[in-house]
A and B are shown apart, each in its own frame.
Chain A
Amino acid sequence: MNNMKKSITLVGLLALLFTISSFTSNPASVQDGGDDIIGIWEPSNGKARVKIEKIGSKYYGKIVWLREPIDPATSKPKVDKNNEDEKMRNVPLRGYRMLKDFTYDEASKEWTDGTIYDPESGSLYNCVITMKDDVLNIRGYVGVKALGRTDTWKRLKLKKKN
Chain B
Amino acid sequence: MVLKRATFSLIVLSLASVGFAQLDSNYVEEEEDYSMYDDVEDVGEIKTYCSPKIFDLSPNRFLSLGYDVTGSGTLKTSDEGAYKPDDDVARNDQSDLKYHGIRINANIPVISKSKLVWQIGGGFNQARIATNQIANAGDHNLLLDELEENLTSINLNTTIFKPLGEKNFLLLQVLAEQNGNYTFGSSGSSPDLANTKYSATGLWGKRPHDRLQWGVGVSRTYRAGELNYIPVVMYNFTAENRKWGTEILFPAKAFYRRKIDSRNILLAGFELEGSSYRLYNTKFNAQNLELRRSEIRLRLDYQKQLKGFIWMGIQAGAVLNYSYNTDDLTATSNTDFYRGFFGDQTYAFSNALSPMPYVNLSLNLVSK
Instruction: Give the B-binding residues of A (Cβ under 8 A).
Output: 4-5, 8-9, 11-12, 15-16, 19, 22-23, 40-41, 44-46, 49, 51, 55-56, 58, 64-65, 72-73, 82-84, 94-95, 97, 100-101, 118, 120-123, 133-136, 142-143, 146-159, 161
How far is B46's CA from A16's CA once the two chains are assembled, in angstroms?
A: 44
Neighbour of A147 across the interface among B6, B55, B367, CB < 8 A? B367
Q: Report yes or no: A44 in contact with B114, Cβ–Cβ below 8 A.
A: yes
Say whether chain A's binding surface is mostly helix, strand, loop, or mixed: mixed
Q: Nearest Cβ in chain B — how far from A83, in angstroms?
A: 8
Neighbour of A155 across the interface among B32, B44, B108, CB < 8 A? B44
- Asked if B194 CB lies within 8 Å of chain A CBs, one says no
How far is B263's CA from A83's CA once the two chains are assembled, in angstroms?
A: 10
User: In the complex, which residues 199-251 of chain B have their Cβ closer than 8 Å to any Cβ of chain A?
Assistant: 210, 240-241
Most chain A CB neighbours (cut-off 10 Å) among B37, B45, B55: B37
Q: Report yes or no: A8 in contact with B44, Cβ–Cβ below 8 A.
A: no
Q: Nearest Cβ in chain B — how far from A90, in angstroms?
A: 14
Instruction: Give the A-binding residues of B (Cβ under 8 A).
Output: 2-3, 6, 9-10, 13-14, 16-17, 20-21, 23-25, 27, 32, 34, 36-49, 51, 55, 62, 108-109, 112-114, 117, 210, 240-241, 262-263, 305, 309, 365-368
Q: Nearest Cβ in chain B — how far from A48, in angstroms?
A: 10
18 A–B contacts, CB within 8 A, in A order: A4-B3, A8-B3, A12-B10, A15-B13, A56-B21, A84-B305, A94-B34, A97-B25, A97-B27, A121-B368, A147-B365, A152-B46, A152-B114, A154-B43, A156-B44, A158-B36, A158-B37, A158-B39
Q: Nearest Cβ in chain B — how far from A129, in angstroms?
A: 13
Q: Nearest Cβ in chain B — how far from A87, in angstroms?
A: 11
Residues of B within 8 A of A120 (CB): 55, 210
How far is B75's CA from A91's CA once the two chains are assembled, in angstroms?
A: 58
Residues of B within 8 A of A73 (CB): 240-241
Q: Report yes or no: A12 in contact with B24, Cβ–Cβ below 8 A.
A: no
How many A-B pairs have beta carbons closer than 8 Å: the answer is: 143
Q: Report yes or no: A40 in contact with B13, Cβ–Cβ below 8 A.
A: no
Contact flag A12-B44 (CB < 8 Å), given A82-B262, A123-B368 = no
Contact flag A146-B117 (CB < 8 Å), given A8-B2, A19-B17, A65-B37 = no
Neighbour of A100 across the interface among B24, B41, B262, B365, CB < 8 A? B24
Residues of B within 8 A of A12 (CB): 6, 9-10, 13
How far is B25's CA from A97's CA once the two chains are assembled, in angstroms?
A: 7
Contact flag A65-B20 (CB < 8 Å), given A82-B262, A95-B32, A149-B367 = no
How far is B47's CA from A14's CA once the two chains are assembled, in angstroms?
A: 50
Q: Which 9 A-B pairs have the closest CB atoms?
A: A134-B44, A154-B44, A23-B20, A8-B6, A155-B44, A65-B37, A121-B368, A155-B43, A156-B40
Q: Report yes or no: B6 in contact with A149, Cβ–Cβ below 8 A.
A: no
Q: Report yes or no: B21 in contact with A44, Cβ–Cβ below 8 A.
A: no
Q: Nearest Cβ in chain A — how far from B267, in angstroms?
A: 17
Q: Report yes or no: A84 in contact with B262, Cβ–Cβ below 8 A.
A: yes
How far is B309's CA from A123's CA once the two chains are assembled, in angstroms?
A: 9
How far is B32's CA from A101's CA once the two chains are assembled, in angstroms?
A: 21
Residues of A within 8 A of B46 (CB): 44, 135, 152-154
